[in-house]
């Protein structure tokens, strides 16, 4: 007789307590999400910018005024005055630019991973075209790509590029178009560089947008290309379950190359 009201009171308290528990959980989730967003914004987020111009011609590499671009120290003409332009790794860089976003929140950023482990040679005729009797190519050591975060680098190396199995990327050029020999030396020009990329075990034809300068026996260039990860069977990753990666990636290669003896 006296126990029933007490039981009802306990039941009533439980009914009123449940919404409070749910509300508390929601507040906790909001706090956790806010903390994750803050951590992302202040500690993980990167906002890298694409380069827009070819590197300047290094003054310490250029010849004295009036010297012939097909003669002089360090230059060996090949057939039909073709020159072999060797990439200088310490002055060059290969990089990826990947769009990232915090899950469920509109907080975009662009991550960059880069390496100077790039080597190669391009065989060019005086008119700027490729000498196709020789193989013009460059190779990048993907195992040395570094961004500003070790956590990102680990996932790029192990899960995306799988560099233990595919440690390098190689591009073999088949044509260069757009060079105007009437322009003064050192003028930046817009070119198209076409060839085959070997990346992640997949070979695919791509065309780079190139900005290039030439002075004497020195060439500098900025080559840019964008493609889907799926084009090369590369998994689209997320970082720690709360950072998603966009479906495409941009590659940029900044090169300083000099004609050398072969």
Q: State what percent of residues in the chain have pLDDT above 70.
A: 70
Residues 6+ apart with CB under 8 A from 97: 48, 50, 110, 111, 112, 249, 250, 251, 252
pLDDT in tens, 84-124: 999 999 999 999 999 877 665 555 688 899 999 999 999 99
pLDDT per residue as tens digits for the range 184-231: 999 999 999 999 999 999 999 999 999 999 998 999 999 999 999 999
Q: State which of 29, 44, 59 marks the end of a domain.
A: 44
- pLDDT value, residue 259: 92
Same domain, 36 and 53: no
Q: Is the pLDDT confidence value at 65 over 50?
A: no
Which structural domain, as residue segments, surrounds residue 30? Answer: 1-44
Tell whether 84 and 165 lie within a shared domain. yes
Residue 137 sits at the vertex; the CA angle it makes with 131 and 143, to the nearest 5 degrees, is 175
Place of tokens 């040395």: 144
Q: Is the pLDDT of residue 31 over 90?
A: no
- Same domain, yes or no: 136 and 13: no
Has residue 22 got a pLDDT over 90? no
- Both 206 and 186 in one domain: the answer is yes
* pLDDT value at residue 25: 53
pTM: 0.76
Assess whether 73 and 196 both reside in one domain: yes
At 102 the pLDDT is 66
């Amino acid at each position: 007789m006296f126990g029933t009201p007490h039981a009802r009171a306990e039941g009533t308290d439980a009914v009123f307590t449940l919404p409070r528990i749910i509300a508390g959980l929601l507040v906790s989730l909001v706090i956790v999400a806010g903390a994750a967003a803050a951590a992302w914004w202040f500690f993980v987020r990167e906002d890298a910018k694409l380069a827009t111009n070819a590197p300047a011609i290094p003054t310490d590499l250029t010849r004295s005024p009036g010297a012939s671009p097909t003669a002089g120290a360090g230059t060996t003409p090949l057939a039909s005055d073709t020159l072999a332009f060797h990439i200088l790794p310490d002055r060059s860089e290969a990089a990826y630019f990947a769009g990232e976003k915090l899950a469920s929140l509109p907080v975009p950023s662009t991550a960059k991973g880069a390496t100077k482990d790039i080597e190669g040679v391009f065989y060019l005729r005086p008119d700027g075209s490729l000498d196709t009797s020789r193989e013009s190519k460059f190779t990048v050591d993907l195992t040395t790509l570094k961004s500003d975060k070790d956590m990102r680098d680990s996932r790029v190396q192990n899960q995306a590029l799988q560099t233990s199995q595919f440690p390098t990327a190689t591009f073999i050029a088949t044509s260069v178009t757009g060079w105007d020999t009437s322009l003064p030396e050192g003028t930046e020009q817009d070119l198209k560089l076409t060839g085959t990329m070997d990346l992640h075990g997949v070979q695919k034809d791509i065309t780079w947008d190139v900005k290039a300068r030439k002075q004497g026996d020195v060439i500098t260039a900025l080559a840019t290309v964008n493609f889907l990860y799926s084009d090369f069977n590369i998994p689209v990753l997320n970082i720690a379950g709360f950072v998603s990666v966009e479906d495409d990636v941009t590659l940029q290669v900044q090169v300083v190359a000099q004609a050398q003896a072969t």
